[in-house]
Amino acid sequence: MTPVRFDFAKCTCGHLSPIRPTSSAPRETDPQWSGTDTDPLIVACSACKLVSKFSPNQLQEINTEMGVAPYNPEAPMRVFRVPIECDEIDCRAQGEVLVTLTAATTAIELAKEMVSWWWKDLTCLSEHPIPDRERR
């Protein structure tokens, strides 16, 4: 299998989470690139459960054999997208927490995983604060 480049988010604990395929061309020359690639990503670490925000330039490009689902349906790991809301009334910038878990993870297992997430000083994509959640 030919290795593919993926963007990985590196947690403060050192754990790397694959998030998405890396764009193959520089933004300046890629006709498919849109301004949305500048949006920050909110990622939950599957190791320590810390939820953090990453700008695209904080992601690390790493070669991987399988990648992750849904980008490769046969991959043993999958990126799940979980909605997260800020505390601001009528905020339309609802974000998504990305978390990489086994592809066989069920909805019940994902819900149990979400309970263990924690964060401090996290903001939505419009920079409104999301109430802190203590580490469990």
Question: How does pLDDT run across 41-81, given as a tens digit for each residue?
Answer: 999 999 999 999 999 999 999 999 888 999 999 999 999 99
Tell me the pLDDT band of 1, cut-offs 50, 70 and 90.
Answer: low
The whole-number pLDDT of residue 103 equals: 96
Domain boundaries, given as residue ranges, for the chain: 4-24+37-115
Tell me the pLDDT band of 104, cut-offs 50, 70 and 90.
Answer: very high
Residue type, 122: L
The whole-number pLDDT of residue 98 equals: 97
Q: What is the pTM of this model?
A: 0.86
Identify whether the C-beta of residue 100 lies closer than 8 Å to the C-beta of residue 18. yes
Specify the residue for token string 């020359």. 29
Identify whether the C-beta of residue 87 lies closer than 8 Å to the C-beta of residue 94. no
Angle subtended at Cα 114 by Cα 46 and Cα 39, rounded to the nearest 5 degrees: 70
Burial of 71 (0-12, 13-18, 19+ CB in 10 A): middle
Identify whether the C-beta of residue 85 lies closer than 8 Å to the C-beta of residue 18. no
